[in-house]
Amino acid sequence: MSSSSYLTYFKRLAVLHRPYKKRLVFGLLGMVVTAATEPLVAYIFKVLLDHGFVEKPTFPLWLVPVAVIGAFVARGASTFLTTYMTNWVSTRVLNTLRQQMFNRILHVSIDFHATHTVGRVINSIMFEVQQIIEMISKLFTSIVRCVLTVAGLLGYMLFISWKLTIVALVLMPLMILVVRTTAKRLKRLNKDSLDVNAQLTQVIEETTRAQQVIKVFGGEAYEKRRFEESAEHIRHYSMRMTSTFAATVPVTQIMMACAMSAMITMGLVQASHSQLTAGDFVSFLAAMIALQVPLKQLAEVNGPLQRGMAAAEAVFKLIDSPVERTGGIELDRRATGKIEFSNVGFSYQGQEKPALKGINLNVQPGETIAFVGMSGGGKSTLVNLIPGFYSVTEGRILLDNLPIEEISLHSLRAQIAMVSQNVVLFNDTITANIAYGDSAPDRARIEAAAKAAHLEEMIAALPEGYETQVGDNGSRLSGGQRQRLAMARAIYKDAPILILDEATSALDSESERAVQAALDQLMQGRTTFVIAHRLSTIERASRIAVLANGCIVEIGTHDELLSRQGAYANLYRLQFSKDAMHVEM
C-alpha cells in the first residue's frame, strides 16, 4: 500500500469523524491533562529530595499527600474523559462504516456477488471494520497521548539537564529504524491475514448452510479438514506477526537500557562537580523511566496501525464497489405488461461467448411465455434481463414501448414479481415474509394471498399463526411450504409481470396440484414468463420458446411444436424416455 493510499484512507476517516469534533476536542483536552501529570510527578520527587530530605522541609508536610493524590485524581479524571469520548466517537464511526457497507451491498450489481464470497463480505462488515476502529482508537488515545507525554517529559528533562537528555536521545534514530523495518513486514502479514480470515469465515458459513448435503454425502471429514487448514493458516500468520512484534519491543527496551546506563554514569560525573543535585538526578531518572511507557506504546501501535490500514483498504474497496444504475423515468401508472425483446444480445463480463444473441420476441399483455431448453441454453439469463439484474449488451427490451434502460430500476421492479427455484425467506414471521417490501402491510391481502397459495390450513395449525417465525431461510417449513410461501409473496405484490423460474420444482405432485390452481389464478391478466421442466406447468402457456446456445430456435404452442418434430419434440421425447436422464424443460 502506497503512502498516497494511506493519506487517502486517513482523509476519508477524518471526514467520518468531522461531525464529532467537539467531543474529540474534549478527549484531546483530557490527554493534555494526562500528559501534564507525568512531568508533574517527576517534579514532586525533585522537591521532596531537595527540600524535604536533604534539607529541612520548607513547606507544610500535608502538601505532599495532597499534591500526589491531586495529581493522580486529575490523571484519572482526564483518562476517563478521554476514554469515554474516544469510544463514544469510535462506536458511531463504526456504525456509520457498517451502514455504508450494508447500503452498498443492497445496491451493488449482480456481478459483485459473482466475484465476492459471502464469507468475505461478512468478514469485511463484521471484523475488518472493527480493525479500523481499533486503529483509530490507538492513533488517538495512544499516539496522540503518548506524543504529548513524551513531549512533556522531554521538555522537563531538557530543563533539568540538556546533556543527559542528549545521551537519552542518542539511540532514538536506531529505534525509529527498527520500527520502520517492522512496519513493512507487519503490513504484508496483516494483508495476508485478512484473506485467510475471510476463508475461514466462508468455510463456517458454507458448513452451517449446507448441513443436509454434508451429512448425506459424508462430507464431515472433508469440512473438518477444510476448517483445520484455514484455522492453521490463521494461527501461522498470527505467530509470524506475534514473533515480529515481540522482537520489536525487547530490542527497543534494550536500547533504552543502554541509554539509561550512559545517563547514570554522566549524572554521577555532573553530581561530583555540583552541576546536578540529588533531586535533579532522581527527578530526571523518574522522567526517563516514565518515558519508557509511552515510547513502548508508540512501538506497539505499529501492529494495529498496519492491521487497520489493510482493513481500511478492503472496507473502502467494498464501499466503492460499482452500484446499479440510478435515475430514470418513474412510472406513474401500472404497466400493461407488454414486453418486447428487440435483437437482444448479452455477454457475461470476462466471457467471449455470448450467453444470448439475436433474441426477438413480442409478448402481449396477459400472455404466458414458457422458456424451455437444455441447461445452459440461456433461459435464466433471459428472464434476469427483465428486472434489470443485467443490462443487455446488444439490442433493447421495451416495457409498454418504453426501453427499460430509461425506466428507474425501482419503478421497473415495482411492476415485477418473481418466484424462483432457490426460495429466499427471511428469519421473520409469515406475515412479514408475505408482505415483504410493503411498508404498510394489509392484513386482509396477506390472508387472501396465503389462501390463494393453499397455506391457510398450514398456518392455522401453527401455534402463533401468521406471527410464527419461519427460521433461517424458512428452515422450520417443509420444501413445499417454503415454495408456497414464496408464491404467496408474489400473489400479495399483485404485479402486472410475473416470473416463475422453476417455481414448482420443489413441490411433490400433491402439493403441485394444490398450487397449480392458485398459479393459474395468479397468472390471469398478467404477463408471465415461465421456466419449468414439468409439462403440466408449460402446456397451458400461450407460447413456448425453445432456447439453445443463447438463441430462440423454435416458438409456438405445445401442440404446434410437437407437430413440427423439431427441438421441442426431441426434448419431449427425452423427458419421457425410460432410458433418458433428467432434462430441464
According to the 3-state scheme, what is the secondary structure of 485-546? HHHHHHHHHCCCEEEEECCCCCCCHHHHHHHHHHHHHHHCCCEEEEECCCHHHHCCCCEEEE
For the chain, list the domains and their CATH numbers.
3-319 (1.20.1560.10), 326-413+529-585 (3.40.50.300)
Regarding beta strands 497-501 and 527-531, do their DSSP bridges make them parallel or antiparallel, or are they unpaired?
A: parallel
In sign, the C-alpha dihedral spanning 231, 237, 239, 241 is: negative
Q: Which residue shows C-alpha cell 483509530?
A: 136
* Cα distance between residue 248 and residue 465, in whole Å: 63
How many residues in total does the chain contain?
585
pLDDT tens track of the chain, all 585 residues? Answer: 556 777 888 889 889 999 999 999 999 999 999 888 888 888 887 877 777 665 666 667 667 778 788 888 998 999 899 889 988 999 999 999 999 999 999 888 888 887 888 888 888 888 889 888 888 877 777 788 888 888 888 898 888 888 888 877 776 666 667 766 777 677 677 777 777 887 888 888 778 767 666 765 677 888 888 888 888 888 888 888 788 777 777 777 777 777 777 777 887 787 777 778 878 888 888 888 788 778 777 777 777 787 788 888 889 999 999 988 989 999 989 999 999 999 999 998 878 889 999 999 999 999 999 999 888 889 999 999 999 999 999 999 999 999 999 999 999 999 999 988 788 888 899 999 999 988 899 999 999 999 888 888 899 998 899 999 998 888 888 877 888 898 899 989 999 999 998 766 656 666 666 667 667 767 778 999 999 766 656 888 899 999 999 999 999 999 999 999 999 888 888 776 533 444 444
* C-beta of residue 180 within 8 angstroms of C-beta of residue 261: no
- Smallest CA-to-CA distance from 314 within 195, 201, 202, 230 is with 195
Percent composition of the chain: helix, strand, coil (DSSP 3-state, to 5): 65, 10, 25
- Smallest CA-to-CA distance from 172 within 92, 292, 72 is with 292
Q: Which residue shows C-alpha cell 471494520?
A: 129
Query: Residue 578 has what pLDDT?
Result: 38
Q: Phi and psi for 502 in degrees, rounded to 5?
A: 55, 40
Predicted TM-score of the model (pTM): 0.74
Amino acid, res. 4: S
93-123: b or e for each residue (b if 16 or more CB lie within 10 Å)? Answer: bbeebbebbeebbeebbeebeeebeebbbbb
* C-beta of residue 388 within 8 angstroms of C-beta of residue 434: no
